[in-house]
């Protein structure tokens, strides 16, 4: 690694503003880092080096001319390959879209371009965001920079690995049931799932539309907050976009203190069935928060016990509906049958059989069944009722607490080919702590809380809907307190990578 790739996004922004180095210098350093490490990590599906350097040169020219620029102008970013990028292929990690070049632009990419952030490339993911390990990609597994025998989490595994591997200072992921927060926990980075509707989903390839949310990712809380401010805001192109004014996240992360904050530990997510090291790190983080002046209380959210079951009915039902568009007729892959008549039905069948992976097929089948006549009320309808109960439980808990907290995941990063891979349900249980936030539409954040057996542990913070700033009011000072106690988690990784 170089000095430039080791800097945080805000450190890079300060150096660019002062003229200490140029955006071309920063961008090229990260592209060189990607080139040197991509065989190990496989974080990216597409590296857009020429486009990134063009943007960097343009930013440098504007800065030299004295133009007013966004605070993050010139700082590189990586985009999950669900973010539609006009003129650059967008695959969703699937053979179905392997060679698709979008004719339109996502709002997220438009905002990134307008602010002058060079896009290093499109990161790897579980196919159509379905998975928790980034093992379900048509473009190979992404590996965890902490230990290449372990997964980086998913589905935003490539975005997280790019951060942890010092290939990018900022990443954009998506979170449907924990797909930003879980890989952040597995890689020792910071991942944010904002309030549903606070960042535009226009041009984000849909998995489950009532659950999907774009999420900023960084190597520290302040970097994630700065990216969150850039991405958030109302978008008339997205019918689910909130009209709220957003901002103040970075200031909250940098100036808040824990004294007087009330943290509610969710009884149902307090550690039963959790890995010993995860429980120990979470308890230690709570003690650090208490020592810094926070009040720790236990809260009861009984419906959370049913959240996982409800999610795995609602999510595949929406998957079944959203993925019906991939029919071999309009765009993407087209496969004709090897024999027999070539009809709409036979082309669709052959295309979907060849284009979708096993996990995608599993969820489509489950969702189609849940929506079928005679089962809709029993399954999908009942799951939506549970969703309402989860929302009500959160509302009651937030009436007494500033934020709610839990471990982000029950375990540290799993090994590739773990015995759990043969049992999808056991993998789904890894989302038990992250899924409730998506069902309720509330914001959540995962930050590093130490190590267990040499791998990172995540600490999850949840806040009321539309009050994302509360995440940063707690996460910023807690991160500082944890680093004061035990040092920065990623420094351990940086030392190891430099030693190699």
- Of the residues 43, 137, 155, 171, only one is catalytic, namely 155
Q: Which of 43, 94, 132, 179 is catalytic?
A: 179
Tokens of 316: 């595949």
Catalytic site residue from 8, 23, 80, 420: 80
Buried b (16+ CB within 10 A) or exposed e, 25-42: bbbbbbbebbeebbeebb
Kindly state the tokens that stand for 212. Answer: 């999907």
Radius of gyration of the chain (CA): 22
DSSP secondary structure string for all residues of 375-417: TTIIIIIHHHHHHHHHHHHHHHHHTT-SEEEEES-SSSPPBTT
End-to-end CA distance of the chain: 10
Look up residue 224 and give its two tokens. 């994630």
Find, among 379, 325, 310, the residue nearest to 356 by Cα.
Answer: 325
Q: Is 209 a catalytic residue?
A: no
Q: How far is CA 170 from CA 75, 106, 427, in A?
A: 8, 18, 27
DSSP 79: E
Helix axes 382-398, 307-322, angle to 10 degrees: 130
Buried b (16+ CB within 10 A) or exposed e, 219-254: bbbbbbbbbbbbbbbebeebeebbeeebeebbbbbb
62 is catalytic: no
> What's the chain's length in residues?
500
CB 239 within 8 A of CB 380: no
Neighbours of 361 (CB within 10 A): 14
Active site residue 64: no
Catalytic residue numbers read 80, 155, 179
């Amino acid at each position: 690694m170089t000095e430039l790739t080791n800097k945080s996004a805000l450190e890079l922004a300060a150096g660019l503003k002062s003229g200490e180095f140029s955006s071309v210098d920063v961008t090229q350093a990260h592209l060189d880092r990607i080139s040197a490490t991509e065989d190990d990590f496989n974080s990216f599906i597409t590296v857009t080096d020429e486009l990134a350097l063009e943007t960097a040169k343009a930013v440098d020219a504007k800065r030299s001319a004295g133009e007013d620029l966004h605070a993050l102008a010139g700082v590189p970013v990586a985009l999950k390959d669900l973010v539609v990028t006009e003129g650059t292929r967008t695959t969703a990690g699937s053979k179905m879209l392997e060679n698709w070049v979008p004719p339109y632009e996502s709002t997220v990419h438009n905002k990134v371009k307008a602010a002058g952030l060079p896009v290093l490339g499109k990161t790897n993911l579980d196919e159509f965001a379905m998975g928790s390990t980034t093992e379900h990609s048509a473009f190979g597994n992404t590996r965890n920079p902490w230990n290449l025998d372990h997964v980086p989490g998913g589905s935003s595994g490539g975005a997280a690995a790019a951060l942890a591997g010092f290939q990018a200072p900022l990443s954009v992921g998506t979170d449907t049931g924990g797909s930003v927060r879980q890989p952040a926990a597995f890689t020792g980075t910071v991942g944010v799932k904002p309030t549903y509707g606070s960042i535009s989903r226009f041009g984000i390839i849909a998995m489950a539309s009532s659950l999907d949310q774009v999420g900023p990712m960084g190597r520290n809380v302040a970097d994630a907050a700065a990216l969150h401010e850039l991405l958030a805001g109302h978008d008339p192109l997205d019918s689910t976009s909130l009209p709220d004014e957003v901002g103040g996240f970075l200031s909250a992360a940098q100036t808040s203190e824990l004294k007087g904050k009330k943290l509610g530990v969710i009884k149902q997510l307090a550690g039963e069935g959790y890995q010993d090291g995860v429980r120990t790190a979470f308890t230690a983080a709570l003690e650090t928060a208490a020592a810094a002046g926070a009040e720790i209380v236990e809260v009861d959210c009984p419906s959370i016990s049913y959240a996982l079951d409800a999610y795995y009915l609602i999510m595949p039902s929406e998957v079944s509906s959203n993925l019906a568009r991939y029919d071999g007729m309009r765009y993407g892959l087209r496969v004709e049958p090897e024999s027999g008549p070539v009809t709409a039905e036979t082309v669709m069948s052959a295309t979907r059989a060849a284009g979708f992976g096993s996990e995608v097929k599993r969820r489509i089948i489950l969702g189609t069944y849940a929506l079928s006549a005679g089962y809709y009320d029993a399954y999908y309808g009942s799951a939506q009722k549970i969703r309402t109960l989860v929302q009500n439980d959160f509302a009651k808990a937030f009436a007494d607490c500033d934020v709610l907290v839990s471990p982000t995941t029950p375990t540290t990063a799993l090994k590739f080919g773990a015995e759990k891979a043969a049992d999808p349900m056991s993998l789904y249980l890894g989302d038990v702590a992250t899924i409730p936030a998506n069902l309720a539409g509330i914001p959540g954040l995962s930050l590093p809380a130490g190590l267990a057996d040499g791998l990172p542990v995540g600490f999850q913070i949840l806040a009321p809907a539309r009050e994302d700033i509360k995440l940063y009011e707690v996460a910023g000072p807690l991160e500082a307190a944890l680093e004061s106690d035990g040092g920065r988690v990623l420094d351990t990784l940086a030392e190891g990578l430099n030693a190699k």
